[in-house]
Amino acid sequence: MGLWNSILGRSKTTKAQLDALFMVPSAAITLQTAAGLTPTGSGSVCFRGATGAAFAQTQADIVALLNDNPDAPDVEVTQDSFGFTWLVAQRDPQDTAGLCTDLHAVNTILEEQGFGSGLLCSLIAFADASGRRAGLVYLYKQGTFYPFAPEPGSGGDGSGQQRRDNLLEIQIRDQLAAELPMEKDLQRWLAVWGAPGL
């Protein structure tokens, strides 16, 4: 079957390694001590919204599931200027484990409902005392993380130039290389301008 798929040009999709999200809380401690970046309590899942009633119902079910759980925070759905949908969860900044559990649940439900092909990434936001912001971006299809750090005053809202703090991104990558599966291909370190929490 493998030879037949290669002849037809088909590739086998790899199963997402969503459990990698559970490694973030310990990595967050490293990031705090090494770079002064602490979790903000904001996390989000980005997906390409499908059309149709089935997807709208699944999205509503995810929001209801998280909002009905007394231990889970309320979530909201937003759309960025590029047309991508973000499901945003808020937790106490000290509860990174709970936030990662929420993000895992959102990804899993979308996957189970057949919308895995539309999942793009999850993001956990960090900030330091000086106002620098950074996000740990989990690439759903790769199972890897990369840092995204917009420079202060730079964003995707069209109000100014978009600039990244590349030095901070490399610093975060190096500090977390032993704790998280970091994305080695820098071309996959896509800018997520306008991402909630950044």
Tell me whether residue 32 is in a domain. yes
pLDDT in tens, 125-149: 999 999 899 999 999 999 999 999 9
113: Cβ–Cβ under 8 A, 6 or more apart, which residues?
54, 58
pLDDT for residue 142: 94
pLDDT for residue 4: 47
Tell me the DSSP string of 22-72.
Answer: GGHHHHHHHHHHHH--EEEEEEEEEE-PPPSHHHHHHHHHHHHHHHH-TTS
Tell me whether residue 198 is in a domain. no
Tell me whether residue 2 is in a domain. no
Tell me whether residue 11 is in a domain. no
pLDDT for residue 12: 45
pLDDT in tens, 7-61: 545 444 445 689 999 999 999 999 999 999 999 999 999 988 766 677 778 778 7
Residue 142: which domain range? Answer: 18-188
Mean pLDDT, the chain, as a whole number? 85
Tell me whether residue 197 is in a domain. no
pLDDT in tens, 73-116: 667 888 888 878 898 999 999 999 999 998 998 888 878 877 78
How far, in whole angstroms, is CA 80 from its chain's centroid?
14
Nearest partner of 119 among 145, 141, 100, 88, judged by Cα: 141
Question: What proportion of the chain, given as a percentage, has pLDDT over 90?
Answer: 55
Tell me whether residue 10 is in a domain. no
Tell me whether residue 5 is in a domain. no
Tell me whether residue 141 is in a domain. yes
Domain count, the chain: 1
> Global pTM?
0.83
Nearest partner of 22 among 129, 104, 113, judged by Cα: 104
Q: Where are the beta strands (DSSP E) in 98-160?
A: 119-127, 133-139, 144-148
